[in-house]
Amino acid sequence: MYNYSITPHGLVLLVISEVTIPLKHRTLPFFLALYIINIGEGGHRPCIQTFAADQFGDHLPSEKATKRSFFNWWYLGIVLAGTTATLIVPYVQGKYGWGWGYGISGVVVAVALVVFLAGKSTYRQEAPVGSSVTKVAQVVVAAFKKQRLSHENRFQLCLIEAGESSQAMTRNLAHTNQFRFLDKAAFIDEIDMSLDKKDSWRLSTVNQVKPVKILFRLIPIWLSCLMFTVVIAQIHTLYTKQASTLNRTIWSNNHELQPASFQVITGLTILAAVPIYERLLIPTAKHLTGNPFGITMLQRIGCGIFFSILTMMISALVESKRVRIATQHGLIDRPKTTLPMSVWWLVPQYVLMGISDVFTIVGLQELFYDQVPEEMRSMGAAAYLSIVGVGNFISSALISLVQVITAKHGDEWLKGDNLNKAHLDYFYWLLACLSGLSLVFYVPLAKGFIYKKLQSDGEVMII
């Protein structure tokens, strides 16, 4: 995923950086500011996208169709802001100081907050429905307590309880036979019959069980997409290390681009690809498939995973060429010497990374918004974001594991001090193979996935 992070703690760091304070006294406020932004991001990111999508009503066909395009343009706006920040903020920091860079970021977020609050009276807001996490936990615990209960020795189903509105019933989810063990949470047994008051940790309604089934249905998809986020994590680490060894001069020998600046190529690719996808690929796909949305959300995610495999293959081939040039010019043992190879050789892998982002990241955003119950959409957004977070942890763990294993055999793949003597291309091939396995795992899951459906009026539920 294209990484974006405008720092609301910028003003705090501006003050810290501009005042002469001993290092030991600067460390605590600095990390405190970082922790504050992490807490803010954790509450902000899962909610803001869901809140924005909720402004389009599902009950109006025109707005429901527009919502499918919303996720494309939403991501386009994020990438546009991230690309602009990547170009402007580092320049300001390098020319005028880090304090100015952080200060600009803080002011921008403050202005955004004012604009957001100015429109408060115009927003559609869903009524609070309580903790979704607690409701899910209650269904799972109730099903576990009744795991020995069979269909024959139950008395009846708990269909509805006091407090469930008729409006909620009109948008009742259709029943599925997947994860039937969860149905036992709604079975009424002797203990339930003996209680004066319903125990929510022993008995759930059928309507409470159905949303949990939907969440369980998404878990395999979540797992199968982890490898994709491992691949995109390389854009901020190993790609930058590659760029640092290549010739980055442009226009004249006096001007050299920073290695991290090439991440902008991925952002620019996304800015170009989203309109093409929206205005060209979707209409073409509609004509070919007959699907009113062009392709399904899961097909879109699968396309992105395929492009991520292709990205790693191209990255491996370019890295092999880089090492060959280093060998031919006798620069293997001179890691700080710029190789006579243009950094623009890396452009294809940055571009492919952007294309895979447009397919998979936007597809995941839409899937985890659309396929969870309405009252759990913030949880769905958090689940999507957790794929990215866990993928980054797996990437770090995989790099450490590869280092340990290859070091034992005397031929390290990822030498930190000399990339010319490393085997970064081997690591890229490894990621391509692992991504291929994840795609093999993903395809049958996607084919067997049952999309969320609402129960029709008058339809009889059979368990």
**Half-sphere exposure (Cβ direction) of 388: Cα atoms closer than 13 Å:** 18
Average pLDDT score over residue span 162-172? 46
Identify the pLDDT of residue 458. Answer: 44
249 φ, ψ (degrees, to nearest 5): -75, 140
Say if residue 3's pLDDT is above 70: no
70, 93, 125 — which closes off a domain? 125
- The reply to whether 113 and 143 lie within a common domain is no
Mean pLDDT of 233-240: 88
Q: At what angle do helices 263-276 and 347-370 cross, to 10 degrees?
A: 60
Residue 128 binned pLDDT confidence (cut-offs 50, 70, 90): low
Domain assignment of residue 200, given as a range: 132-213
How far apart CA 133 and CA 135 sit, in angstroms, is: 5
> Among the listed ranges 123-137, 348-362, 399-413, which one has the minimum average pLDDT value?
123-137
Do 93 and 173 lie in a common domain? no
Q: 119 and 150: one domain?
A: no
What element of type H or E holds 252?
strand 252-256
Domain-located, residue 155: yes
Q: Same structural domain for residues 302 and 393?
A: yes
Residue 194 lies in a domain: yes
* Residue 219, domain member (yes or no): no
pLDDT, tens digit (0-9, with 9 covering 90-100), for 278-321: 888 888 888 887 777 788 889 999 999 999 999 999 999 999 99
Confidence of residue 152 (pLDDT cuts 50, 70, 90): low
Count other Cβ atoms within 10 Å, centred on residue 250: 12
User: What mean pLDDT do residues 69-98 have?
Assistant: 79
User: Which domain-ending residue is among 155, 178, 213?
Assistant: 213
Question: Is the residue at 433 inside a domain?
Answer: yes
pLDDT at residue 457 in the model: 45
292 and 428 housed in the same domain: yes
Question: What token pair was written down for 226?
Answer: 């982890």
Q: Between the CA of residue 376 and those of 6, 132, 176, 208, 358, what are the distances in Å?
A: 27, 6, 19, 12, 25
Q: In the block, which residue shows the tokens 């025109």?
A: 62
Residue 151's pLDDT is 61
Residues 121 and 141 in one domain: no
Q: With bands split at pLDDT 50, 70 and 90, how would you rate the model's confidence at 146?
A: confident
**Maximum mean pLDDT: which of 51-60, 293-302, 368-377:** 293-302
In a domain, 167, yes or no: yes
pLDDT band at residue 434, thresholds of 50, 70 and 90? very high
- Strand ranges in 182-273 using DSSP code E only, listed in sequence order: 187-188, 249-250, 252-256
Q: Are residues 403 and 329 in the same domain?
A: yes
pLDDT band at 120 (very low <50, low <70, confident <90, very high): confident
Dmax of the chain from CA atoms? 85
Cβ neighbours of residue 67 closer than 8 Å, sequence gap 6 or more: 53, 56, 58
- Average pLDDT of the chain? 80
Which of 67-76, 270-279, 381-390, 431-440 comes out lowest in average pLDDT? 67-76
Same domain flag for 121 and 184: no
In this predicted model, which residue has the larger pLDDT, 387 or 173? Answer: 387
Mean pLDDT of 384-399: 89
Write out the two tokens for 27.
Answer: 């460390």
Q: What is the C-alpha separation between 55 and 46, in angstroms, rounded?
A: 16
pLDDT at 381 > cutoff 90 = no
83's tokens: 């690309």
Write the CB contacts of 256 (distance below 8 Å, at least 6 apart in sequence): 248, 249, 250
- Judge whether 220 lies within some domain: no
What are the tens digits of pLDDT across the range 321-343?
999 999 998 888 888 888 899 99
Position 21 scores a pLDDT of 64
Rounded to an integer, the average pLDDT of 38-60 is 75
Residue labelled with tokens 């994590």: 233
382/248 same-domain check: yes
**Is 330 in the same domain as 456?**
yes
Measure the N-to-C terminal CA separation of the chain; round to a whole number of Å: 41
Both 166 and 96 in a single domain?
Answer: no
pLDDT confidence of residue 436: 95
pLDDT at residue 163 tops 50: no
Most confident range (mean pLDDT) of 69-78, 332-341, 350-359 is 350-359
CATH number of the domain residue 235 falls in = 1.20.1250.20
* Residue 16: pLDDT over 50: no
Residue 253 has pLDDT above 90, yes or no: no
Residue 308 confidence (pLDDT):
95
- The SS3 call for residue 255 is strand
- Same domain as 379, residue 304: yes
Residue 459 pLDDT grade (very low, low, confident, very high; cuts 50, 70, 90): very low
What is d(CA 156, CA 203) in angstroms, rounded to the nearest whole number? 12
Residue 387 CB contacts under 8 Å (≥ 6 apart), including other chains:
222, 225, 226, 229, 364
pLDDT exceeds 90 at position 416: no
Q: What is residue 99's predicted lDDT score, i.e. its pLDDT?
A: 82
For 21-35, 202-216, 442-456, which range has the lowest pLDDT when averaged over its residues?
21-35
Q: What is the pLDDT of residues 20-33, one digit of tens each?
A: 566 667 788 888 88
Any idea which of 139-153, 417-431, 435-449 has the lowest mean pLDDT?
139-153
Residue 86 confidence (pLDDT): 75
Instruction: Give the count of domains, the chain.
Output: 3
Q: What is the pLDDT of residue 430?
A: 95
- Look up the pTM and report it: 0.78
Considering 97, 125, 153, which residue would you say is the last residue of a domain?
Answer: 125
Q: In the prediction, which pLDDT does 6 show? A: 40
Give the best-scoring range by mean pLDDT among 59-68, 233-242, 351-360: 351-360
pLDDT at 153 over 60: no
Q: Is residue 96 part of a domain?
A: yes
Inside any domain, residue 402: yes
Three-state DSSP class for residue 237:
coil
